[in-house]
Amino acid sequence: MGKIAVYPGSFDPITFGHIDIVERALECFDGVILAIASDIPKSSLFSVKERVDMARLALKDKPDIVVESFRGLLVDYVSTAKATVILRGLRATSDFDYEFHMASTNKSLNQSIETLFMMANKDYFFVSSRTIKEVASLGGSVSGLVPECVERKLKERFEALQKKR
């Protein structure tokens, strides 16, 4: 078995920024697991199944990228998956504090797991799931920032939420 990296996150929803990171990571690793956290502190727009389905559809042409969900501590999931690396993307210095704390916590929980950071592609520096949801909720276009399947799902979800109001 080759070198496997785990790319964890909420992916609520997956964006082209995430896809760019995971595709570039494949140049460095034999396989990458995109691991979608089931228990996230913030409330998610999409269920874990919807987030997994969207990511699988968006990455269906990349057999070396496996999409899974996980529960509990990330380091435990990484060990079970027989991986040794946690991969995270960095968009700007503003990401650093949060990432530094997370990497340090994970290191204290399991010394044998390293966190590696990749700089986001300049085209996606400003792309985050949070801003994508905000733009889509207000009827703005997110075309070119998320895969088509995600664009469709966002439209459906916000239309349904609008009808409920």
Query: Which residues are part of the catalytic machinery?
Result: 18, 42, 91, 129
Alpha carbons within 13 angstroms on the beta-carbon side of residue 90 total 16
The least CB distance from residue 133 to ligand PNS, in Å, is 13
Q: d(Cα 153, Cα 25) in Å, to the nearest integer? A: 27
SS3 assignment, position 128: coil
- Closest residue to ligand PNS: CB criterion: 9
The answer to whether 147 and 56 have CB atoms below 8 angstroms apart is no
User: Which part of the chain contacts ligand PNS (CB under 6 A), choosing from 4-12, 51-59, 135-143, 149-157?
Assistant: 4-12
The answer to whether 91 and 10 have CB atoms below 8 angstroms apart is no
User: Which part of the chain contacts ligand PNS (CB under 6 A), choosing from 46-54, 102-110, 118-126, 155-163?
Assistant: 102-110
Q: Of 105 and 162, which has the nearer Cβ to ligand PNS? A: 105
The least CB distance from residue 165 to ligand PNS, in Å, is 27
Phi, psi of 93 (to 5 degrees): -60, -25
Q: Interface with ligand PNS by CB under 6 A: which residues? A: 8-10, 37, 40, 73-74, 102, 105-106
